[in-house]
Amino acid sequence: MKFGKEFEAQMVQEWQETYVDYSNLKSILKDILRFKQLNNAPSPMAAAIKGKLKRNASLYRAFSGLTSRFRPDSTLKNNEDEVILVSAVQEGDGEGDYQTMFLRSNEEGAEHELVFFRRLDDEFNKVIKFYKKNVAEVIVEADELSKQMNALIALRIKVDNPVIVQNDVNLVPNGFSSNSSSIDHPTNGGNQAWSMMNVIQEEQKEEDNDGINGGEGNKKEGFKAAPLEVLDHVKINVEVGTPLSTLKAVIRSSKSDLSFSRKELRTAEEKITRAIVEFYRKLRLLKSYCFLNQLAFSKIMKKYDKISSRNASKAYLQMVDKSYFGSSDEVTTLTERVEDTYAKHFANGNRRKGMKKLRPQAKRERHRITFLYGLFSGCSIALTVAIILNLHARALLKSVERDQYMVNIFPLYSLFGYIALHMLMYAGNIYFWKRYRINFPFIFGFKQGTELGYRQLLLLTSGLSLLTLAAAISHLDIEIDPRTQTFRTLTELIPLFLLILVVSIAFCPFNIIYRSSRFFLIRCAFRCVCAPLYEVTLPDFFLADQLTSQVQAFRSLEFYICYYAWGNFRERSNKCEDSEVYRVFYIVVAIVPYSLRFIQCLRRLLEEKDAAHGVNGLKYLSTIAAVALRTIYQFQKQKATTWLVLAAATSGMATIFNTYWDIVIDWGLLRRKSSNPWLRDKLVLPHKVVYFLAMALNCVLRLVWMQQVLGIQTVLFLHGTALTAVVASLEIIRRGIWNFFRLENEHLNNVGKYRAFKSVPLPFCYDHNGDNSM
């Protein structure tokens, strides 16, 4: 891969504008090369003679030793000095910009090289200012984390050994001043606190361990043993995430006094651990930012030397190395100290264990997973063929039992089909997100190393498909075999047993079948249901959008309740659609997912004061009206024209509104003045036609709604229930396509206004007087 593509691939997308504009500098170099080719193009004969002489000369020089590598350094230096002169210009605010003076400006075509160095200086000054700004920020964060660690160490001592002797005598040997808190080491208990004090003492003895507060030289102070008086100036922060916690914060103040309980200690440790891990990630990204830009400057200067036949790269790169950008070591020092601190205080001194948590390794792909999902997929295909042959053998599609089976049994199994199809589309999303390096684990907020890959999703999908198809064919086989006719009740309960099994696996508390991912999904689903009570994060509204495409699955769940609770499942019959209660809930179940998204939009509108969320809420409100009116019209035995007009009008408005929002807002496309006409400035996919096809397909799949409203039987041989399942499946496919482009737009443009780093709340809050005491 060429460096330009690799450079773009390794960028932090939220910082993309602050990197070296490598492609622009390359285009200027192409102008220089084009000018030289037009003005210095030798005749064909001269070029041939020159090439022959050059080969002959190089042959003789190879044996004579007269090569350029043996020329004196002074000659090389003089040549460089004659090309460019780089200097730092001090401005009024003390910030210095670097400027390059091109010393060959009187030569023909030098205007292109002047433009190149002017642009190169602009890029370098942009990079160094951004880097300085972020280094200053991480130093401030490091200082805050140092104070938090002081409080945590003191709290550990206080909780693990509450017998504290406050006097002026230093009872702990080797390491504490006379004003430090002393610990009375009891005969029984207190071993953990004593070992913690030993760790602190050992930390003080090491000269190179100065903490992570980011000062310079010997002035850096590390995580020294904090005196227990620190706790007199510390309060514990109360998270404000729900109305209940907000009310508690108002009653008890937003900062609560420490009660020195183990629960508080455990909570504080978890928060500081998350904060340090995120801080370490920021340091690593800053190091990567510094390295990539230095490499870009080196590459572009070597290209300049090659094109211009000059030797200016050494002088410019020496300036880069001597600048703050190339010579500062704050980030490296902070990185090492964070590693030491995390290993000592959160990994029991085991550096290897600490590094595994700070820097999780990429998950190794196991051949077992590939084998299993291949096996399950093959078995599923075989069962599908067997079911088709079974239906053909019984002539079920032409028999009188067809309607009975489609109305009563097919909706029970179609639920699992919707789930499996959605999982399959999500597996495809993950595959393409990884292929085009879209950072979906960070965007969704997965814990590092716990996100599922597409192979794991395919394994789960094929496993669910295998279970569903096995249940379906067993259902048919039991009916065919005369010996099993007495098991009719058990036969009809097979779908219910399958549903209970799937739900049990989803909520299984044991650490099997990807527990962390299952619980992450459950937590997000709970936050969606309790949308007004929680701050809306990207995983919350992303999952709620997925639920809006699973309306038919929710209706299938409602049918489960009706069929097994009020229907005569032993005789395979039901009167669900004749029940007024069922009809009401049929509408309610359909509008619940859209209502959750509507409430989420209102919450974000109140918090962020952004009118776009209000408009988005109106979109979901129009969809709720369309779904309700369409369902009412569907249940009418005598189709009234008034209801048809209302259903068609609301569905048409909702379709246009949703289609526009999908393409323009969620995908960020149809930008007429974009550098990619009618798309957007930043794209991931190399082929632009894919975006136009996706937009066209989205419009077509959105129009499927109108088929249901107008009652057009597009496929005559399909039963009405099967046609509903096909329409629901097309909506799931449309959602899968939407997922890729929505996350691509978030990755490139941060449209959700989420940061490049997670904002982790810290557990302790220092009073102003307490800061001075530190």
Domain assignment present for residue 607? The answer is yes
Give one DSSP letter per residue of 164-187, joined into a string: EE-SSS--STTT--TTS-EE---S
Query: How far apart are alpha carbons 650 and 641 in whole angstroms?
Result: 14
Domain count, the chain: 2
Query: Which residue shows structure tokens 């939220």?
Result: 14
Burial code (b: 16+ CB inside 10 Å, e: under 16) for 420-456 equals: bbbbbbbbbbbbbbeeeebbbbbbbebeeeebbebbb
Residue 533 and residue 593 in one domain: yes
Residue 319 and residue 395 in one domain: no
The CA-CA-CA angle for residues 27, 17, 742, to 5°, reads: 110
Domain assignment present for residue 670? The answer is yes
Residue 331 and residue 374 in one domain: no
Dihedral sign computed on CA atoms, order 658, 664, 665, 668: positive
Last residue of a domain, one of 334, 358, 382: 358
Query: How far apart are alpha carbons 429 and 423 in whole angstroms?
Result: 10
pLDDT of 31 reads 87
Residue 310 and residue 387 in one domain: no
Query: How far apart are alpha carbons 657 and 664 in whole angstroms?
Result: 11
Domain assignment present for residue 127? The answer is no
Residue 298 and residue 390 in one domain: no
For residues 29 and 21, the answer to whether their CB atoms sit within 8 Å is no
Residue 323 and residue 410 in one domain: no
Residue 588 and residue 678 in one domain: yes
Domain assignment present for residue 244? The answer is no
pTM: 0.77
Last residue of a domain, one of 358, 393, 412: 358
pLDDT of 419 reads 96
Domain assignment present for residue 138? The answer is no
Residue 294 and residue 401 in one domain: no
Positions in the chain short of pLDDT 70? 1, 40-82, 90-96, 109, 162-227, 238-258, 362, 397, 399-400, 477-487, 705-717, 751-761, 767-774
Name residues whose C-beta falls within 8 Å of residue 462's C-beta, 6 or more positions apart in sequence. 372, 373, 376, 377, 380
Last residue of a domain, one of 323, 358, 393: 358
Query: How far apart are alpha carbons 683 and 697 in whole angstroms?
Result: 19
Residue 294 and residue 430 in one domain: no
pLDDT of 95 reads 55
pLDDT of 757 reads 57
Could you list the residue range(s) of the whole structural domain that residue 94 is in?
Answer: 3-109+282-358
Q: Which one, of 415, 561, 408, 377, lies nearest residue 479 by Cα?
A: 408
Name residues whose C-beta falls within 8 Å of residue 664's C-beta, 6 or more positions apart in sequence. 670
Residue 405 and residue 528 in one domain: yes
For residues 80 and 89, the answer to whether their CB atoms sit within 8 Å is no
Residue 397 and residue 483 in one domain: yes
Domain assignment present for residue 745? The answer is yes
Residue 396 and residue 500 in one domain: yes
pLDDT of 56 reads 47
Domain assignment present for residue 418? The answer is yes
Instruction: Write the single-letter amino acid at 448.
Output: Q
Query: How far apart are alpha carbons 321 and 298 in whole angstroms?
Result: 11
DSSP E strand boundaries for 68-203: 84-90, 96-102, 164-165, 182-183
Domain assignment present for residue 575? The answer is yes
Q: Which one, of 277, 297, 13, lies nearest residue 145 by Cα?
A: 277
